[in-house]
Amino acid sequence: MHISIVSNNTKTIEIIKNILCSQPRYIIAWIAHDGKEAVDKAIKDSPELILMGLDLGIMDGVQATGLIMRERPCPILILTDGISKDAARIFEAMGNGALDAAVIPFMDANGHLKGKDELLKKIYTIEKLIKKGDITSTDRDKGQDKILKPPHPLVAIGSSTGGPGALGEVISRLPSRIGAPIVIIQHVDIQFAHGLVEWLGGKTGLRVMVAEKGIKPEKDTIYVAATNDHLILDRDLSFTYTKEPKDNPYRPSVDEFFYSLLDNWQWGGVAVLLTGMGRDGAKGMLKLKKAGWYTIAQDKKTSIVYGMPKAAVEIGAIDEILPLEDIAHGIVKYLKRLMEGNIYE
């Protein structure tokens, strides 16, 4: 796997070079010391993965990520000195198409290298996604035991690459009283999830919170999956998390949440797939559509990566394909139709 490093810190470059060189399957494609150099090199020689710093002097990592994803798209992993310090810029970079972020490995006071294993784990996960491309949750047919129906519909949104920016755009256009809970499954590491909740909270008049185990989704509230396990809805209509399937690199998995809705949220609602790499969410979306849910996919033109929406479109899982700026209206329009039908309290 050919990997490029972008940093203006000589010590950081040496540490990462040594880490990558310790793994025979990783080859350093090129090194850039600022954002402009990274963009120029990526356009001429696109690697399989770019490790992108944020503070780069000439053009920062957020801008460089956006330009690379527009001119010569490739997987980008953001490197940061600290999660909380760089949270806003990390989510901006993810909105521009970065896959994830990792803390830059460093030497502690005793001369021990910290963060090496975490960085390699993230690179390995991205490597698996690149090689398989169509990884999705196990397609299962679960039992259909019925429970009491909830008094309102639900909106479920799945997203990945470019997701934070797309999510911000969608929820910023939603009314503060929508009449349904909204659950977001964004492929994001647990250490960034709480920062994502706070960041999204600044984009909307709706309440935004972590989908904590044991709580039940309520109307006019946005819930965000926030562990490295899969968020699902349990039989008692409360959130819980599961490690299975362990071999799915998408954590949390959109498909796993969609499957749980099929089993346990009997009154339906709207399912949405936004920009993202791979095929996660497509099979679950198809099952929801067949069960009467209204399904929406972001269009190719406005998607940073037209992977997840495309996969759902290809298997006939989508009722409506919309540009990003129209998705909120599509959600509200369908919910209003349900409310006017007097089938919800």
Instruction: Please state the rounded mean pLDDT for residues 130-156.
Output: 50
The answer on 248 and 161 residing in a single domain is yes
- The span from the CA of 231 to the CA of 212, in Å, is 9
Of 33-42, 131-140, 315-324, the one with minimum mean pLDDT is 131-140
Q: What is the pTM of this model?
A: 0.71
CATH of the domain at 114: 3.40.50.2300
Report if residue 235 sits inside a domain: yes
Same structural domain for residues 125 and 248?
Answer: no
Q: What is the mean pLDDT of residues 165-186?
A: 95
Both 125 and 207 in one domain: the answer is no
Residues 231 and 124 in one domain: no
Per the domain annotation, does 292 fall within a domain? yes
Q: Are residues 104 and 237 in the same domain?
A: no
Residue 192 has pLDDT above 90, yes or no: no
pLDDT at 151: 57
**Residue 6, pLDDT above cutoff 80:** yes
Residues classed as catalytic: 160, 187, 280
Q: What is the pLDDT of residue 263?
A: 87
Does residue 197 belong to any structural domain of this protein? yes
The answer on pLDDT for 231 being more than 90 is yes
Same-domain check for residues 115 and 175: no
Instruction: Tell me which of 80, 102, 132 is where a domain ends.
Output: 132
- Are residues 12 and 107 both part of a single domain? yes
The larger pLDDT score, comparing residue 225 to residue 251, is at 225
pLDDT band at 84 (very low <50, low <70, confident <90, very high): low
pLDDT of residue 86: 80
The verdict on residue 345 lying in a domain is: no
Query: Does one domain contain both 82 and 159?
Result: no
Which domain does 190 fall in, by range? 154-340
Q: What is the pLDDT of residue 296?
A: 98
Residues 216, 294 share a domain:
yes
Higher-confidence position of 270 and 250:
270
Residue 214 falls inside a structural domain: yes
Share of the chain above pLDDT 70, in %: 92
- One domain for residues 160 and 124: no
Residue 287 confidence (pLDDT) above 90: yes
pLDDT digits (tens, 9 = 90+) for 103-123: 999 888 887 888 899 899 989
- What pLDDT sits at residue 133? 54
330 belongs to a structural domain: yes
Could you tell me the pLDDT band of residue 228, with boundaries at 50, 70 and 90? confident
pLDDT of 198 reads: 92
Query: What pLDDT, on the 0 to 100 scale, is given for residue 327?
Result: 98
> What CATH number is attached to the domain comprising 255?
3.40.50.180
- Answer whether residue 82 is part of any domain: yes
Asked if pLDDT for residue 184 goes beyond 50, the answer is yes
Which residues make beta-bridge pairs with 114?
A: 106
Same domain flag for 161 and 126: no
Does residue 149 carry a pLDDT above 80?
Answer: no
User: In a 10 Å sphere around its CB, with 0-12 CB exposed, 13-18 middle and 19+ buried, how is residue 276 labelled?
Assistant: buried
Number of domains the chain contains:
2
The percent of residues above 90 in pLDDT, for the chain, comes to 63
- 111 within some domain: yes
The pLDDT, as a whole number, for residue 64 is 95
pLDDT at 330 over 80: yes
What does pLDDT average to over the chain?
88
Rounded average pLDDT over 187-210: 89
Q: Do 82 and 164 share a domain, yes or no?
A: no
